[in-house]
Amino acid sequence: MAQPRYLPALGQSLSKWEAIAIALNTGNEANRRRLTDARVPGAFDEAGLGAVLASLDERDADFVQSVWDYLAAFQRDIATREKRLTGIAPQWVEPTPVTIAGKALKGGYYPLAYDSADAGPDRAQALVSGRVAKSQTEAGHGRSRADLKAQPLDLDIAVLHRHVNHLLYDLEFCEPLANARRLLDDPTLADVFARTKNFVALRRLETWLEEAGARELRAADSIGRMARLVKKNPTATSIANDLATLLSHRYRLDDIIAAAGRGDFATALQSALRPGIINQVTIRSSLMLGRQAFSDARTAWETLARWLEGTLRYCFIEIPAWLAHYQKGLKQFGGDEAKAIAYADTAMEQAIFKPFPAQSGGGETLRLFKALGAHLAEKFKASAAGIKQSAAAIDQSAEVTDQDAAARQGITLAMDLIALAMTDRVFTAALGGHDHDTTWPAYLAEHTGYSVMAALPAIRDAQSPPAGTANDAKTLVKAIRPARGDLGIGNEHITEILEATGLSAESPADAMLSGANADLARIAGR
């Protein structure tokens, strides 16, 4: 399903999932119009769209219509909510008939999502306003600011899973969150906080409300993000995925998840991606505070690679594992904070750190990291050179672009891509390969925000992270032109590079993706 197939009539390769995603966007006029928008580079003409649909069979046609029918099944709940809030029954998106594999399909609604869009930071506001449910109505579909721009559609099947996940939260939490927001915005309440000079409490309530609306959605949205970036730079994403696979084996990822408890680890993942969570953990645990330290190496490249390896293990494996044990401690000791912290620290020492110590990075990791960094650095330098030439054509006195600074941006992007790939590996290991366990979906639905996102093909079909080897890494390294000199990277640039990574942001889950999206678009000249 994920294997690309070349379509001669289209002149490009598509996987079966990509072809199905395209078909899903043909069920109504608004989506189909965006598929064929001539203002968008790479848009389909009618002949090309017909070639994609012709590549599908009857089973695919049945699946496409079943998705439209499934989304239509939410109309009753959406209508009930809208009539309760506005007193008016919504009008629905009008289906457009389409024929696939000789089967006449009636069409239906499918969410509009864009390849360059990153709505992550606005999750809480979208939830409070009921924006996701409204997108299924005629008044809301294709009416947002993003919909009015000429930009390519996101043709990843994860669009469906993200929409359903957000829709479920919208229907469940929109009204209580909106009511709480109105209460906090009431001038009378604000006057009370002002008179008592208790602004800290008000800010805590506002922060809690924002977090309540976005916490589990943020965690679920972190799944499968590398798939959205593959087309923007297949070489870079391939290297990042291979390096993440190597690291997951070195970290003994599967063993650590099993030691922490798979269900407890999966539950803790959604907290581990919350802004500020590392500070909260290190304030409680001196053991985890000490795990943040790392030492400089002989060269800037080695220092960056060492920091990256340590940070990925710490943020995406050790922090969730500690939180899993901490929550178990709270349950075991009746909410006693001190005992829960001591329990988590002891469990990490005995079940995680001693059996699965952090290992040395190894030469193949450094070589692969340097290959990816060099590849993206050259892309940034080429982009910077193009900008300089364009500026010089207009103004002969244009300032010369700092090519070394552009190269350092490429290395920052490399680190973010590796971090995104590692996030996918952790989610795959924690959630995937459990089709034989009928209780697993129910557990995810009850304890996490992953019940929908765990159905993604990459997660659902996974038994373990793909088996990467040092030889795989060496093969990829040889395929990349080696770096010329040091690419302007010295010890004096380490802090600049690290501070620019999404991993250093307050909300790394969002920052890594938004930064990677923007940077990949830049080096692609868009």
| Residue 98 backbone phi and psi in degrees, to 5 | -150, 150
pLDDT at 212: 66
CA dihedral for 181, 186, 189, 191, sign (positive or negative): positive
pLDDT at 224: 63
| List of the chain residues with pLDDT < 70 | 1-4, 116-125, 127-128, 142-148, 211-228, 230-231, 359-362, 384-403, 433-436, 446-447, 449-488, 506-507, 509-510, 524-526
Neighbours of 45 (CB within 10 A): 11
The two tokens of residue 399 are 């300032």
Asked if 509 contacts 401 with a C-beta cutoff of 8 angstroms, the reply is no
Closest CA to 223 of 316, 344, 347, 131: 316
The two tokens of residue 490 are 């010295």
pLDDT at 265: 92
Quick one: 46 exposed, middle or buried, by C-beta within 10 A (0-12, 13-18, 19+)?
Answer: exposed
pLDDT at 453: 58
Distances 138 to 30, 90, 447 between C-alpha atoms, Å: 10, 8, 34
Distance CA 490, CA 301 (A): 8
The two tokens of residue 243 are 């390096």
What is residue 5's three-state secondary structure? strand
Residue keyed to tokens 């977090």: 211
pLDDT at 473: 44
Distance CA 465, CA 296 (A): 30
Eight-class DSSP state of 7: E
| Helices and strands (H and E) in the chain: how many | 25, 4
Asked if 117 contacts 148 with a C-beta cutoff of 8 angstroms, the reply is no
Distance CA 350, CA 344 (A): 10
Asked if 189 contacts 209 with a C-beta cutoff of 8 angstroms, the reply is no
| Cα-based angle 93, 94, 98 (whole degrees, multiple of 5) | 120
What DSSP letter does each residue of 123-163 carry, written as one string? HHHHHHHTHHHHTTBTTTTT-STGGGS---B---THHHHHH
